[in-house]
Chain A
Amino acid sequence: MARGALGAAVLRRLARVGGVLGLGVSLAAPAAAQAMAAGSRDPGTGRAAVIWTATNVPACAPASAKDILVVCPSVRAARQPRPRPAVPARSREPTFTVQGFVHAGFLGFSSTEALTAVYDASGGFLWGGGARVGHRAGLFVQAGASRFAVDGERVFLFEGQVFNLGITSRLTVVPVDVSGGWRFRPAPRPAPPVAARVRPRGPRRWIPYVGGGAGFVRVTERAEFSEAGDDFEERHVSYHVMAGVDVPAGRWLGAGIEAGWRWVPDALAGDGIAAAFGETDLHHFVVVGRLTFGR
């Protein structure tokens, strides 16, 4: 009798835990099913030992608990501290989430010849930050700004030959934009009833997203020996698309990676070396790593 009462208690616990950790139990089930089909005996008592899968324990436990030793791989787990009530995964997130983020990465321009002539590079390090408001369904809106700066020296171009003039120049590109997009949250799994000891393993939930938007890019070029009107500062409308993936690292922290392409037409339409190369646009791609804060 005592055994039967014990067995019923174990099974009830298992049922609760399984509800919380449905995915883990499911992962364990194939091995258990194999053992049940084969049948075995407990080496200590000589009773038939059947390994139950989590899904069929509640239905048969009260009747068979007296004669059958229920051997469950997760029995120890059932003795763990009382788990929280099973709540469907989606319902744990608020309707709206607010996140701040910082990012850093690489920016590469499409107008490579002119940039290389003056700055000996057609891209470089980029950093910035912003904020994102997301809806539980997946829709999000974010605003962000980045900054790219590179140093070079002014040049004279003659028949394809670049003469460096030793006059330091700095190009600063600051994209400021607003984006909208969709985060592809994982589909909710049916809550399994039992899942003792089984915890999430493998990769965290990766949340891919795509989006696009518009903004402006402030382009500044300053050089030594500048006088009135020499330095260049303009703002240009920009459009962009991006795609990335968020990797939650906890309730309030996350990481991610994002790649995007920004169109900045006619941003190089000045009298500088870009015109000499026939390059007028400041289109660029961006690849950044991102740290997020908030939920």
Chain B
Amino acid sequence: MHWRRIVETGGGIGALVTALWTLTAAQGPAPTSRILRQPIAPPAIDRGLLDDGNVTGPRHKVAHRQSRRMGSTATADYLRGRVIVKYRTNVSAAGTGRRTSASAASRPSWADFDVVAIDPALDPVRVASELEASPDVEYAQPAYVVRPHHRPNDPLYDRQWNLQEIGMEAAWDINLGATSAVTVAVLDSGLAFQDAVYEFTAVEFTDDGVRYPALGNVTVPFAAAPELSGANRFVSPHDFIWDDDSPVDMDGHGTHVAGTIGQVTDNGVGLAGVAFNVRLMPIKVIAGDWDDIFGSPNVGTDDVVARGIRYAADNGAKIINMSIGRDGPAAPVITAAMQYAVSRGAFIAVSAGNDYERGNPVEVIAEAAAPIEGAMAVASVGRGLRRAYYSGVHDYVEIAAPGGDTRSGGSAAGVYQQTFDAAFTDFFLEPPSRYGPPRFDVFAYRAFQGTSMAAPHVSGLAALLFSQGITSPAAIEAAIKQFATDLGPTGRDDEYGYGLINPRATLRGLGLLQ
């Protein structure tokens, strides 16, 4: 914050140099700077679907991403008075009808079946059943009423099994993506919300014994993700890693997560999000690899996360998504912050962790969320709606949502959203010879998997519920649990919690009788 403010307000170069020197000296050899060179940038580049079979795997620990610096971590209605009947060849409709309750039949246009009139007082289901028992009838069924389901026109929506499996189309019939009155805070690695060019200083680092050279001062272009941006889409952004109000994403995780919550939908482009009309509050509390390399003043520690939670609650967020976590000792500072946020009327969704096959450690933030009425720990299911191989199994798991499982479905079983094209960002995964500065203005639709991808489904549903009228965090949690589709053993269990989220049923609530 301080550096950018100096530049933006035309502060003296001397002050900048002095400040830079001071910070550099304080942090040793790694210079910590982020300079806004241009408040605008060339338009984002949309590279479209990246379906190369590579799926960004589950992030096993936030600390793991920070290892470079740390050195080690959900009976239709039918019309009376008619049934639909398909007779077998050379069979008289009237003849069959006499044996049943059916009477006159008519053949509508563009049909190879008949519509048979029956006494309106009769039950079409029973009549159809009678007809179907006849050897002359191929099939018979009531004329069930078909209703429109909101199906997004986004061309890649077909790939979003994750939304289809939880019945989002029917849910959108009830609540079409919430409203801009609902703000969802995304506490993550930042968000591609801004067109800008920043200058950073990249120092050398070593990864697994491989030394990467210092890049010196580099200008890095940023662009708002085309599928996230829109008028007044972003509200109260804040960066607790760089201590300013530009929580630009230098990882892609936060942008992907935000996409599941609020990807622009029905715009004929790309993919859909769960609650696509909400406003997004980007809050950066996690440092990505490039943040590390560029020497961000902070990393994602308990205090930073706690401050982020409190910031979100104090700035009007009603839903807080935290696709982050760590194992180890308890984090009372985060627990207290979550309790504060819930007391301020914010619902919190926390990913339950991806390390089932790595010893299934207790995820501290998810564990802290479970006892709080208004905060939920979210496990992940794959395309077959079975627990994803990585999803943590714990007594604090409260609910499950699609997070992807490429082991049982390949890349198509990942969760697709728009984020950075890794080919332009992840140079630190390349050999040093191909290592170079990133650009965060090239986007693609990529498949990720992890409980990080599951949590935003719950956050999106919570946003829909909030706009539907359930404004208490505790009530939102209770509703999500009550209407969940039970998976695994009957009742709550450690794999799926209370089951898979069921957005439509949750949004419909209850009538007197059903």
Chain A residues engaging chain B, CB cutoff 8 angstroms: 114-115, 118-119, 154-159, 161, 163-167, 169, 171, 219, 221, 223-232, 234, 268, 270-274, 276
Contacts and interface: CB of A to CB of B under 8 A. Distances in A.
Contact of B514 (A115, A155, A232): A232
A272 B512 contact: yes
Given A156-B470, A163-B509, A221 B475 contact: no
A267 to B, nearest CB: 8
Interface of B: 75-77, 144, 147, 170, 173-174, 468-472, 474-475, 478-479, 504, 507-514
B75 A229 contact: yes
A270 B513 contact: yes
Enumerate the 3 nearest inter-chain pairs by beta-carbon distance, A residue then B residue, closest first. A228-B76, A158-B475, A270-B513
A227 B478 CA distance: 23
B510 A229 contact: no
A102 B511 CA distance: 31
B415 to A, nearest CB: 26
Contacts of A154: 508-511
B464 to A, nearest CB: 11
A227 B77 CA distance: 7
B510 A164 contact: no
Contact of B512 (A158, A164, A230, A268): A268
Given A225-B504, A276-B510, 8 more contacts: A118-B512, A156-B470, A161-B475, A169-B511, A221-B514, A227-B147, A230-B514, A231-B77
Given A227-B170, A232-B514, A271-B514, A155 B509 contact: yes
B513 A226 contact: no
A71 B474 CA distance: 93
B174 A225 contact: yes
Given A158-B475, A165-B507, A114 B469 contact: no
A232 B511 CA distance: 9
20 contacts: A154-B508, A156-B469, A156-B478, A158-B478, A163-B470, A165-B469, A165-B507, A166-B469, A167-B507, A167-B508, A171-B512, A221-B514, A229-B75, A231-B514, A232-B511, A268-B512, A268-B513, A270-B512, A270-B514, A274-B512
A228 B144 contact: yes
B512 A163 contact: no
A119 B511 CA distance: 9
A119 B76 CA distance: 24
B510 A273 contact: yes
A221 B174 contact: no
Contacts of B507: 165, 167
A180 to B, nearest CB: 27
A155 B474 CA distance: 15
B509 A167 contact: yes
Given A157-B510, A232-B514, A163 B76 contact: no
A115 B512 contact: yes
A273 B510 CA distance: 6
B178 to A, nearest CB: 13
A274 B513 contact: yes
Contact of A272 (B174, B469, B470, B511): B511
Contacts of A219: 513
B472 A158 contact: yes
